[in-house]
Amino acid sequence: MTPDVESVRWRHRIVERLQNHDAPKVFRLCLFDGKSILYSAAPLDLPDGTSGNYTLVVPGKGRVTVKVARVAGDTVTFDDLIKFLTGKISEQTPKVSVALNLLQFIIRQAPNLKYPNNGRAYFTSGGSKDLRGGLQLFRGFFQSVRPAIGRVLVNVDISAAAMYKPGPFVDIALEVLNIRGNARALSYRKHSKEWNILSQFFRNVLVDIKLPKKTVTKKIVGLVEAAGRFPFTQEQEDGSSLPTTEYYYKTYNIRLSFPDIIGIELSRGSGKNTVIPAELCTVAAGQRYTRKLPQNMTSMMVDFSKFRPEKRLEMIVGQKGDRVQPPTLEYATSPYIQDAGMEIAEKPITIQGQILKSPTIFYGKKQAAATWNITRQHLHSPEIIKAWAVVDYSLRLDQSVIKAFMDTLEQCCTARGMLIKLLLVLKDKMSKDIKEACSLALVSAGAPPGYNKPPDMVLVILPQSAADIRQDVKRAGDVTLGVSTQCVREDNIAKFSGRQLDQYCNNIAIKINARLMGVNSIPSSPAYDWFTKEDFMFFGADVGHPGPGIQNKPSVASVVFSYDRHGVKYSATSRVQQPRQERIGELGPMVYDAITRYGKVNGRAPRRLMFFRDGLSEGEYAGVGELEFQDIKEAVRRVWAEVKLNDPPPLITYLIVGKRHHVRFFPTNPQDGDRKSGNVQAGFVASEGIANPIAQDFYLLSHGGILGTSRPAHYIVLKDEIFNFDVRPIQEVAYTLCHAYVSATRSVSIPAPVYFCARAEYHFDASLRYIDSDGATVASSSTCEKQSFNLSQWRSGYAQTHSFMLARMFFA
């Protein structure tokens, strides 16, 4: 397209106009990927036989020339896909992938042309919710084609998206700043706090500019001060300039009401800016907000998306007349599906699975069920707290409230078997220098004369909104000082009392015990016990990426690993790497360090390694998964060679654990589901009917849902030297590990190594760990914000965990 059109939405509109208005006889029902590929069920009658140029005038965009050329690729057929589904091809070949992608386009094309979408899901305003702050929530539907043994499935689920609220730019800007109805308040100067908020919020947002006889849609690239006073250069021989206010009056007979407020910059180039007064602009409808939502809005999004299983299924299946029609009701009438000759079943499939037996949980010498009440248990191996300190950063808590909370917490710790010898509370508010606060905690609290040892634990009471302080606390504890920390928020302390406060303090107590190298409980099942008879290690691994649009921060690879004989104590390590690189670039050295640490603790080498990899998509199984498996093998060979071990190397099982998917299970008979939540019962495992044609995979719903519809985890057994691809014991070990997450008193949705890895990502975040040569962090320095990405700089400034914390589960 010339000029280039970046917006996928506009590219779709242009192709749709070609099909329906400018050249309908040529383009018929073509499928467009939104980028550069067009699929047609029959050869196109192009002017030059294989290519052609089409110039059209698009309302709101102007004149665009589209060049279409037939590529030399083969006609897409489904022969290889059928062989793949029936097991006659043992890998997903390029032809199989192309066929599956084409099926995706066919089912998605009709709704994606009608509604805002992200490619995989579309969203409608039916049932929308106002978020304030210039945003609203839309409901929608996810749909995806998935291969299964002998057939192709369409995965449909409800979805939700944050959207920019359409309307006058001035009104939306005031709402973003939480200002009521005073447009003149928008007369901000460049780089003021409000300016920066608005500039970030509206960057790349499309606005409609309404002028007499025409409306133009443009993208915001920046803001300007006092747009009404901005010099407007007229297109005449003398090159004279007018203030924007005078230009709009003379040219369009428009009088600007607010010439001193900010304006919108629409383009840059050749030293010239196109500036439009804000009062003439309207935020265009149907734009997704792709940045990270603030914490308060995230909870609203969760509530908006949360439905009991029976309601969720009802929304997916749908009924005619529903405010938001699901795709399942429109497949039969989609012109693209009809043109392809496809048929899609109207009802969801029914599968069969089994309920795994819950593991036994050992607390002390007693057993407990799969869900348990911690208040009746004595921890398996409670720790001794020689001294702990409290740093109080609360804004509203009275000292008597803090004392009552600490008394309850101490009682709960003692009741669980922990021995506390010295509790010290900082009564005075201190500066925000967390390092100094923790270092001086004992002295400032009035420790006994001659007692100069660091505290075993520093508990920090935070104000309600204190993300920066919490990050400083973790940096000081994990990296600088090497002391365990536990943060609690003042609003939680204030709102709980009686039995609720007791339960809250018990939950904190088990976290503290785990972070001090204590053991809360030990899970047991036949397959788990068989696995742990040999020396073993569990691994969890994942890569955390910077947020959308951030190009100058690295991705962080995290690996956690067990080092005790029960599989409940974990250590962790991390590395920075190129942004959005999914393969763990230094996995070999990280596994080498892990096995070495295991050897130092246990005096022997592991015989079995079970590796749980989070975060890989289906397209990365063969490539990234295979390479990482070889990295693990190489790390083992390196350890054995350096230590000169004669023992055989450990057997390795490498699994991928997927949780970012849309497969959901619903009990066919509600009486078979969980009595409270309506979900399928915890322990449900299934593969028959939905299994991948070439991978050994299964879905395990390991947790009992409390609110909403539970999401199972998807396990893909990529390599298996331990169980020889006997999936039953793998399922049992995975389910048992879902009961080994030390901070929970019920089973969780993924195995503990994967859960720990997800938790460790916060502690390993580049913003928390980066300290430059001057001692400045990312949060306190603008260096990393302005410079292009430099991996060597990040590696040199990325701080590793303090040696005192290596054996402690600071991430629990």
Residues 459-498: tens digit of each pLDDT: 999 998 888 889 999 999 999 989 999 999 999 999 988 8
Per the model's pLDDT, the better-predicted residue between 393 and 649 turns out to be: 649
d(CA 452, CA 439): 11
Across-strand partners of 153?
146
Burial 578-599 (b: 16+ CB within 10 A, else e): ebeebbbbbbbebbbbbbbbbb
| Interior angle at CA 84, CA 79 and CA 89, nearest 5 | 100
pLDDT band at 369 (very low <50, low <70, confident <90, very high): low
| The pLDDT of residue 634 | 98
d(CA 715, CA 357): 18
Tell me what the mean pLDDT of segment 707-730 comes to: 96
| The pLDDT of residue 62 | 81
10 Å CB burial of residue 604 (0-12, 13-18, 19+) is exposed
**CA dihedral defined by 412, 417, 422, 424, rounded to 10 degrees?**
-30
Tell me what the mean pLDDT of segment 410-415 comes to: 94
| The pLDDT of residue 781 | 39
Residues 6+ apart with CB under 8 A from 142: 120, 121, 155, 156, 157, 158, 159, 662
Give the three-state DSSP class for 283. Answer: strand
Tell me what the mean pLDDT of segment 641-656 comes to: 96
| The pLDDT of residue 782 | 39
| The pLDDT of residue 519 | 96
Residues 6+ apart with CB under 8 A from 138: 116, 123, 124, 125, 128, 160, 161, 163
| The pLDDT of residue 155 | 98
Cα Rg of the chain (Å, integer): 30
Give the three-state DSSP class for 56. Answer: strand
| 61-107: pLDDT as tens digits | 789 999 999 987 778 999 999 999 999 998 888 899 999 999 999 99
| 427-454: pLDDT as tens digits | 455 555 666 766 666 454 445 555 566 7
Round to the nearest angstrom and report the end-to-end CA distance of the chain. Answer: 52
| Least confident segment among 89-93, 233-237, 386-390, 799-803 | 233-237
Q: What are phi and psi of 215, to 5 degrees?
A: -125, 130
Q: What are phi and psi of 777, to 5 degrees?
A: -95, 175
| 510-526: pLDDT as tens digits | 999 999 999 999 999 99
- Per CATH, the number for 522-659+717-725+744-805 is 3.30.420.10
Measured in whole angstroms, how far is the alpha carbon of residue 396 from the centre of its chain? 33
d(CA 543, CA 658): 13
Does residue 3 have a cis peptide bond before it, meaning omega lies within 30 degrees of 0? yes
Per the model's pLDDT, the better-predicted residue between 786 and 49 turns out to be: 49
| Least confident segment among 250-264, 313-327, 501-515, 560-574 | 313-327
- State which fold the 382-515 domain adopts: Rossmann fold (3.40.50)
How does the average pLDDT of the chain come out, rounded? 89
| Least confident segment among 106-110, 270-274, 416-420, 615-619 | 270-274
Would you kindly state where each structural domain of the chain is located, as residue ranges?
A: 1-73, 167-283, 382-515, 522-659+717-725+744-805
| The pLDDT of residue 357 | 96
Tell whether the model's pLDDT for residue 786 goes beyond 80.
Answer: no
| 517-562: pLDDT as tens digits | 999 999 999 999 999 999 999 999 999 999 877 888 999 999 999 9
| The pLDDT of residue 700 | 98
Note whether 746 and 371 are within 8 A (CB). yes
| Least confident segment among 211-215, 411-415, 516-520 | 211-215
Tell whether the model's pLDDT for residue 783 goes beyond 60.
Answer: no
| 122-174: pLDDT as tens digits | 999 988 999 989 999 999 999 999 999 999 999 999 999 999 999 999 999 99
Tell me what the mean pLDDT of segment 662-671 comes to: 94
- Per CATH, the number for 167-283 is 2.170.260.10
Tell me what the mean pLDDT of segment 387-409 comes to: 89
